[in-house]
Structure 1
């Protein structure tokens, strides 16, 4: 009996381990001469064309975090493609390197949009993708990115920004937005200045964008990311309630934006 229980526990552990194995694959592509490495995850069974979700990474680059989100979405029936903004093999080792990488794209929004659209183009070429049902989601640096993708005039159904930078460097660019916009924001995020938030809202209103801004009480920056720790006093911390609620709001937004 003891042996049976031990075998059962071991098998359970193995099954648990296998459940976390990533079923997606890396995708190497280029933006001009720059080689990039994205990641795609697809549903187990695909019948006909299915919606596409493009994922834009946070400031540490494309990591297991974005890959796990891609796997979550694939299990829900989406083709999920995580883009690479920095370049193949360019993965910051610390906050200083991450700040330098992310800052260079925030200062050069034209290059950022170029990289975003390069990823979108490759994502649309994945098998079984329904090009009429495409949304992009992004975290922190990537949350800024999806709004820049929308401002570039990308022909997609919607974008979802999770704790992204919500500034408005060129308000006129809001006139290029063709899609719906959802910004999921920590109400106590110290890295988003009130004046930037006001400018973002004004840009959306001035250009009659179909937009939503949802604020989560008690949440600071990086509220969807467990690797941010659990100390809100640092300005960035995981918040399980805000994470769960924002994910639900995202899925509801998907239904409205692309009927899925």
Structure 2
């Protein structure tokens, strides 16, 4: 019977202790060898139970997933003030922000279930911003997926970007945090850096469109969109399979 290996992994950046979570599918009694890895970066709400459930879906495809803890100590903000302060602190100190992503990347690469040479970073909302920023600043990953990322947070200088990475952006056309004025410079930067990229723009979809709880957030410009969520999931699965030259299992449900 198949099961999922799950374990918490503590790691650090400077004085901040992070508590990530590794997940990998296995059959009973079988050892899990090094597999392509997914560095999964959470949204503004931190490494929640919902994010772990999402990591389980990726692990079920045959990947080893390392869910990062960017805020540290598994902190899960519950108010707009807390979220604004956290995101503002990262956008205001990009070296700190990317150092936290790199710390998670190194922790993931050190796990025996992960093929350190085949890691993709996948992020949602601010996690999607993190994935793009990591590639933009030279993060050594095979690829990156930004799903309804806050594209307004991505800086403009792609001169140090990881040109060997492939990038997928799945974005809502009605997302105020990813308007044309935000994504057009990103497309230009990716092209100028020689990066292989794909940009999927979903009509009518707003921010956080994969999150069934988005409608309850009371945040203008954020709403769940089941059809766009299913499309983004299907394309992400396909993209990762292409990236790692594998054929992962299919799934028809939205993220």
Q: TM-score with structure 1 length normalisation?
A: 0.85
Distance 1:77 1:190, change over 3 A: same
Matched with 1:69 is 54
More strand by share: 2
Work out whether 1:172 is the aligned partner of 2:158. Answer: yes
Contact 1:61 1:84 in 2 (8 A): yes
Contact 1:230 1:238 in 2 (8 A): no
Contact 2:128 2:147 in 1 (8 A): yes
Asked which structure has the greater CA Rg, the reply is 1
Work out whether 1:251 is the aligned partner of 2:237. Answer: yes
Structure 1 ranges of 4+ moved more than 4 A: 230-233
Deviations 1:165-198 (A, max 9, x none): 2244232345444310100000111222321111
- Please list, as runs of the form range in 1=range in 2, the aligned pairs for 1:98-247 lying within 5 A after superposition: 98-167=83-152, 168-173=154-159, 175-229=161-215, 234-247=220-233
RMSD: 2.1
Contact 2:133 2:155 in 1 (8 A): no
Contact 1:50 1:128 in 2 (8 A): yes
Contact 2:162 2:195 in 1 (8 A): no
Q: CA deviation at 1:209?
A: 1.1
Structure 1: unaligned runs, 5 residues or longer: 1-20
Matched with 2:80 is 95
Q: TM-score with structure 2 length normalisation?
A: 0.87
Q: CA deviation at 1:227?
A: 1.4
Contact 2:172 2:209 in 1 (8 A): yes
Q: CA deviation at 1:83?
A: 0.5
Q: Secondary structure at the match of 1:24?
A: strand
Contact 2:26 2:32 in 1 (8 A): no
Matched with 1:49 is 34
- Measured in 1, the distance between the counterparts of 2:119 and 2:24 equals 14
- Measured in 2, the distance between the counterparts of 1:177 and 1:111 equals 23
Give the number of equivalent residue pairs: 240
